[in-house]
Structure formats: structure tokens, C-alpha cells
Amino acid sequence: MSEKNKPPQETEAKILKAAENEFFEKGYAGARTTTIAEAAGVTHAMLHYYFRTKDKLFKRIVSEKISMLADILLSAVGDADLPLEERLRQGIERHFDFISSNRNLPRFIVNEVLSRPEQIGIMKKGVSDIVNRLLDNLQHEIDRYAAMGSCKSVDARMLLIDIVSLNIFPFMAAPIVYEAIGSNYGSYDEFLAIRKKENVETILRKLKID
């Protein structure tokens, strides 16, 4: 079946995957739509038909990644039916797994923000409302548990920064970390599995949840 006869959703998905690889590897400035089209197996005209411009394609990828991350956090930390410890455990683990599945994403975002500061507004717009609701809910739960003497009273916003920092560092500094651990672990994936568990325990120790 030729590309023009394939379902639109399939062609669009191939373009998005090729564009993600191109943007994450080369950044916005270095990415080329001709290379994306070639990797997706479509003509440049077809890519233009689906997404019009490189900027629209870039914004689509960033917004989808942010939306996926927000859904992951909400599905765990925002689940009021779970005890606070389990909500945090699942939230940390799912965030870590998301980064592990998108290992170039943290470095890509940092590089884009540094080289194109206007991107901060685009990224903030996609998550600010969701994150604020999530943090308000989490702060309420922390305060409730603290009032019962079941955990320390901590700032939910600082806690989120701790979680993000702990989870992202092994991927942002992967070459340095890998050199540092040397042959202490069978593979980097083995190290990451241990690191994920350690991150969960570090956050729970900060709260001292009984």
C-alpha cells in the first residue's frame, strides 16, 4: 500500500515519530523537514499537507509529551482513593518510567529553553493549570496526614522539584553517571531500576510516612 493510500492516522503517526527523533537529536534549529519526510517515508509535500510548518510540527510534539506527562502524574498522585504513600510511590515510578522511555527528552527541553527562551511560555501554558491543581490537592493531603502525625509537613511544590530532580538527573547526566558507576552494575538499565527504587525511598524518607 502506498503512503497516499494509507489511513491518515498511520501516516501522521509516522511523521510524528520521525519528527520526534529529528528534533530530539538535533534540536529545533538543526532539524530539517526534508529529513523528517524521508525518515517517515513520505514526500515533503505530504508532510507539509499534514503539519504545514516545522514550527507546528514541533509544537505538536512538545504539547503531546507534556500532555502525556500530566496524565501520568494525575493518574497516580491525583488518585484520591489511594493512601498518600502509594500515590507518591506510583507518581515517582511512573514519572521515572516516562523519562526512561523518552531518554532524550530532558536534555532536549533544557537545550531548547536555553537557546529559545520563548519556549518557556509554550511549555508552561500546557501544564500550569494541571500542575497547580495537582499540587493543591497534594498539599491538602500532606497537611491532613501531618495533622494526624503520620508524616512531616512539607511544601508540595518543593517536593515536586525534588522528585523531578532525582528522576531526571540519571538521564541528563547519563554519560558521566555511566562512567562513575563503571562495572558496579551489569548494565545501565540495571542501574536505573535500582535508582528508581532509591528515588522513591528518598522522597518517602523526607516525608517520614509511617
pLDDT tens track for 141-195: 999 999 999 999 999 999 999 999 999 999 988 778 777 775 677 788 888 999 9
DSSP secondary structure code for residue 185 in this structure = S
Residue 3 has pLDDT above 60, yes or no: no
In single-letter form, the type of residue at position 103 comes to: R
pTM: 0.85
pLDDT tens track for 83-117: 999 999 999 999 999 999 998 888 888 888 888 87
Q: What is the pLDDT of residue 2?
A: 47
pLDDT tens track for 42-54: 999 999 999 999 9
Contacts of 118 (CB under 8 A, 6+ apart): none
- Classified as helix, coil or strand, 41 is coil
